[in-house]
Structure 1
Amino acid sequence: MTLTVEASSLSLNDVHRFLKLEELSTASFTEFLNLEPLTEFEQQDLLRIRNDFRRYLRLSKISEGLVKFLTLAPLMRLAGFYDVPIRLTMEDSIPIAVDDEDRRITGRMDILAINSPKSDIAPPFWVVVIETKNSAIDVGEGLPQLLTYAFKSLNQQTSVWGLVTNGLRYQFVYLTHDQQPTYQLMPLLNLNESPDVIELLQVLKAICKLPNFQ
């Protein structure tokens, strides 16, 4: 009998054990990405996004849906994720089977960005997995879900970028699958910190420009 487990109920230790996923030491963004300077327009737009979020945060905690609306949507548009051939989907049901365990892990993904190939003979597309939480929840609580969803995408490519955010803090993760599936946490970025918010958009732009993940 197969046991069905919700990804939202998993701990980080569960993810390591069920998926045979190993954590490597924290990495820097520049090991994997080319971070380009932002234009004056991009910096001004970034300040508007930050100020809008601050204004709502002063009133009360911000719901998961509003986090997407206030920060992720404008950030992803500014970074180029709305452009062809990238396709965004939301809340896709993604059953995940772990072959060497008598269980099936299921969940519902928040945002999936896919760089679709232009033809059947095009290079493999890349996938970016994004998990959101409300502003009162620490981003670390979304890490098990994010890793589970991103792990599924390793069936289609050798590496995957993931992001978990509560609107204020942004935790990027880089997953690879060679002999052993591994992941590395990137430096935590804060929307309220001036150096961090610049780097946040630089990272999103750099991921968006990747032709495919090797």
Structure 2
Amino acid sequence: MATRFLYLARHGDADPFGELTDTGREQARLLGRRLAPLPIDAVWHSPLPRAEASAHALAGHLPEGTPVRAAAELIDHVPYVPGPEETPPAWVPFFDGYDTDEAAAGHRVARSLTARFAAAADSAGAAELHEVLITHSYPIAWLVRDALEAPPARWLGLDSANTALTVLKYRTGLPPTLTMFNDMSHLPAELRWTGFPRTIRP
């Protein structure tokens, strides 16, 4: 049975210009240390600078020669703009201004994301494939929603902290498995929950 493991993580903490902060770099390094014992075949990242820098920082803890490459499908995007009947009232202002063309473009990226990554490994290749995807909160939410076969609008409300780890497993002939979501156990308390509004956390 060919198995594909996706290790999904949002980029590290970034400043208003989209560059990693010192906190973000440390978060990415700690994520790399956590992933170091795994047989990672490749690290893919969004083309945006905060994701690329995070990918290279974590790759410093992986074996020399581990490929680190950009994947256009991992770009930050709104994967699905729900219709009025699907939109929770609190989200209505967020989608104000998304025209039909912009919504369709985002959904095309979302479909290309799942087509490229949300499938079991090629049975003609290795029995297992382990890939790290450094991306953004919305693409992670879309991949999780897709794995659970939830309605398209259910990507809303699935949030990921900076460098939190989500793991999906794809096996031939079986439904996808969500084995971990938004796990921050590799981060000390002071580096957790960045990328979220300030509030009480457990």
* TM-score of the superposed pair, with normalisation by structure 2: 0.33
Question: Which protein is richer in strand relative to its size?
Answer: 1
